[in-house]
Amino acid sequence: MSTFNDLGLNEDLLHAITDLGFEKPSEVQEKAIPLLLNSEDDLVALAQTGTGKTAAFGFPMLQKIDIDSRTTQGLILSPTRELCLQITNELKLYGKYCKGLNVVAIYGGASITDQARDVKRGAQIIVATPGRMKDMISRRMVDISKIEYAVLDEADEMLNMGFKEDITAILSHTPDDKNTWLFSATMPKEVAAIAKNFMHAPQEITVGHKNEGSKNVTHEYYLVNSRDRYQALKRLADANPDIFSVVFCRTKRDTQKVAEKLIEDGYSAGALHGDLSQNQRDLVMKSFRNNQIQMLVATDVAARGIDVDDITHVINYQLPDEIETYTHRSGRTGRAGKTGVSMVIVSKSEVRKIKSIERIIKKEFQKKDIPDGMQICEVQLMSLAKKVHHTEVNDDIETYLGDINTLFEDTTKDELIKKFFSVEFSRFYNYYQKSADLNVSASFDDSRSSSGNSTRYFINVGKKDGYDWMSLKDFLKEILELGRDDVFKVEVKDSFSFFNTENNLKEKVLAFFTDFKHDGRFVNVEVSENRGRSGGGRRDRNRGGSKRRDDRKNSSSRRSDSKSKPRRSNSGEFANSRPRRSRR
Ligand code: ADP
Ligand code: MG
């Protein structure tokens, strides 16, 4: 293993590295820096987030450019404003002893004329988001015709975000004989295409496997009913008192909703999504960086810029639509040599996605149980005890010690401890005392038919109408506007069929089909008596009678109640918000 001194970097840079406290180069730095310093080759480097890619291209670029010249020689494209600013700051730190160095950040949402003026002053390096860069080129505010080094940072993210055309346009304004260095965490075919079309025989560096997740991250999943997602999230937070996390949701709306609920429930949380103004987003990020927010609830797009090093947990409140996105989410933790945990709260209809993700990240998930109330109380109590133990004593209390001592004259030490801890702890205890078990049985295929969480329906279309199970499933998903795995166990007979959904969709499904015509005939859907696939799902002979349907509903809900531990209505867990607690 080499040191920074072995890589061929000059004194000014090594001096800065010492100041930064970097002891040894990371793997991508060790491989990329000598290569970039000693050759004029293009480079494709694949490495996870948090592996030190900025320095891997930053140091060679700083060493290779001519600082005495005012010409723009280096261009770094990066997907977001956040990253753009981060890279700029890092480069300034790396180049703090390079006299005359001028690095300028160019990004949307700030004054374009100010940025143009900064560039005009003689920026040797420009760090830019593609959108703003293209704007400035078309307004002739920048000249990148003499670029010698172009970096595409987080190339996969830039393409994901739809910057392909912008990047192409920008590169067309740069000289053909420049060097292009492409950095990416993953190598989808779009990135490969960029490498092929815009680079000349690039060298390739891979740190870890392609598309592989960070080594420092462990992956866990928790199987719950969809409706218990939020409760599960709270428990995971409560079971980890020092959590510092990003919670990923699929939509802006869910992001906002979950954050609001968390705040209402006494957590230090914040929302980050595209419907917020730049100002609001900056504020949230600032609080997060300062550790004032413990749970940052974010959409994938909004979280792209987050490079905070000490995130302990990534929580997938919902899995992403594209499972590849999971790599990016989990890469937010386990950065800069620290360990991290990526947790997935998953419902039965999505649990098979876990297997697909395992194949992509080449790591296994641990299936874990949502901690029960008493486990959480124990964790909270011990955490409190440790906090008290480490608390620095405020000497001004000395004045009151006499009076307090008189008050506790007859109290033993044990009793005193119990009393003190009860002040903080009882609220947790009362809250969780009667809490339900949120875990759902693991074998999802069986559980779908046996645990009473799904509903089986009869529908009066079948093979005669041209359906097979796949086309019927697609048809149902489309007209009901359901997700990929929401309709399952589709079984098509000659003139009728069966299918299942989770119970929580039952009302929606039945309401939709009360008066639904397709190809000129009424399509009738009813709850089938037989819930599972076995036995073919006998059609309910008593269908139609509303009274009977009600009876059936009651009996089935009773059935599931007797099987499971007390649920929300019994426990009161959902009626009250969790106890407020003081944080940091
Ligand atoms: P990436 O671009 O791969 O996601 P960054 O370049 O943002 O990663 O680096 C992640 C963090 O690690 C930054 O805070 C950076 O200062 C730090 N870092 C980079 N190289 C080293 C090193 N050799 N030793 C210690 N810390 C480093
Ligand atoms: Mg980076």
Provide the β-strand partners of residue 222: 345
Most distant CA pair in the chain: distance in Å? 90
Segment-wise mean pLDDT, segments of 10 residues, the chain, 584 residues: 89 94 91 94 88 94 96 95 92 95 94 95 96 94 95 89 90 94 87 88 78 73 90 93 93 93 91 89 90 93 80 93 85 79 90 86 88 85 85 86 88 86 78 81 44 82 88 89 83 89 90 84 81 42 35 34 27 32 38
* Angle in degrees, CA 419, 421, 423, rounded to 5: 75
As given in the structure block, the two tokens for residue 155 are 């190339």
Euclidean distance between CA atoms 267 and 291, whole angstroms: 13
- The arrangement of strands across the sheet holding 488-492 comes to 488-492, 497-502, 454-459, 525-527
Which residue carries 């940025």 as its tokens?
115
**How many CB atoms are closer than 10 A to CB 48?**
24
pLDDT for the residue numbered 2: 81
Euclidean distance between CA atoms 70 and 486, whole angstroms: 59
Of the candidates 72, 36, 78, 26, the one whose C-alpha atom is nearest the C-alpha of residue 57 is: 36
**How many CB atoms are closer than 10 A to CB 386?**
12
Of the candidates 118, 23, 481, 79, the one whose C-alpha atom is nearest the C-alpha of residue 307 is: 79
Euclidean distance between CA atoms 373 and 436, whole angstroms: 8
Which residue carries 């981060």 as its tokens?
86
Select from 7, 19, 22, 30 the residue to mutate for testing ligand 1; criterion: most ligand atoms less than 8 Å from CB.
Answer: 22
Strands 269-272 and 340-346, how do they pair?
Answer: unpaired
As given in the structure block, the two tokens for residue 412 are 């033993």
Shortest-distance Cα residue to atom 15 of ligand 1: 52
* Angle in degrees, CA 375, 377, 378, rounded to 5: 65
Do 337 and 216 form a contact (C-beta atoms < 8 A)?
yes
Strands 179-184 and 521-523, how do they pair?
Answer: unpaired
* Angle in degrees, CA 339, 3, 88, rounded to 5: 65
The finding on whether 309 has its CB within 6 A of some atom of ligand 1 is yes
pLDDT for the residue numbered 88: 96
Residues 6+ apart with CB under 8 A from 263: 269, 270
CA atoms within 13 A on the CB side of 11: 1
Euclidean distance between CA atoms 577 and 243, whole angstroms: 20
pLDDT for the residue numbered 562: 30
Cα separation of the two ends of the chain: 40
Residues surrounding ion ligand 2 at CB below 5 Å: 53
Do 193 and 158 form a contact (C-beta atoms < 8 A)?
no
The finding on whether 184 has its CB within 6 A of some atom of ligand 1 is no
As given in the structure block, the two tokens for residue 562 are 């007797």
The finding on whether 49 has its CB within 6 A of some atom of ligand 1 is yes
The finding on whether 511 has its CB within 6 A of some atom of ligand 1 is no
The finding on whether 82 has its CB within 6 A of some atom of ligand 1 is no
**Residue 519, Cβ density class (10 Å: 0-12 exposed, 13-18 middle, ≥19 buried):** exposed
* Angle in degrees, CA 505, 511, 517, rounded to 5: 120
Euclidean distance between CA atoms 572 and 209, whole angstroms: 48
Do 246 and 306 form a contact (C-beta atoms < 8 A)?
yes
pLDDT for the residue numbered 337: 66
What radius of gyration do the chain's Cα atoms show? 29
The atom of ligand 1 lying closest to the CA of 154 is 2
Euclidean distance between CA atoms 351 and 224, whole angstroms: 10
Task: Give the distance (Å) from ligand 2 centre to CA of residue 205.
Answer: 16
The finding on whether 78 has its CB within 6 A of some atom of ligand 1 is no
The finding on whether 55 has its CB within 6 A of some atom of ligand 1 is yes
Do 42 and 187 form a contact (C-beta atoms < 8 A)?
no
The atom of ligand 1 lying closest to the CA of 185 is 3
As given in the structure block, the two tokens for residue 436 are 């339900």
Euclidean distance between CA atoms 129 and 393, whole angstroms: 49
Euclidean distance between CA atoms 99 and 10, whole angstroms: 13
Q: Angle of helix 11-20 relative to helix 53-64, nearest 10 degrees?
A: 150
Euclidean distance between CA atoms 32 and 184, whole angstroms: 13
CA atoms within 13 A on the CB side of 371: 18
pLDDT for the residue numbered 498: 92
E strands in 251-394: 269-272, 295-298, 313-316, 340-346, 366-367
Strands 454-459 and 525-527, how do they pair?
Answer: antiparallel
Euclidean distance between CA atoms 343 and 361, whole angstroms: 14
pTM, 2 dp? 0.50
Of the candidates 100, 97, 104, 84, the one whose C-alpha atom is nearest the C-alpha of residue 19 is: 97
The finding on whether 52 has its CB within 6 A of some atom of ligand 1 is yes
Torsion of CA 9, 11, 12, 15, to 10 degrees: 100
The atom of ligand 1 lying closest to the CA of 58 is 6
pLDDT for the residue numbered 208: 65
- Please report, as a single letter, which amino acid is at residue 267: Y
The atom of ligand 1 lying closest to the CA of 54 is 6
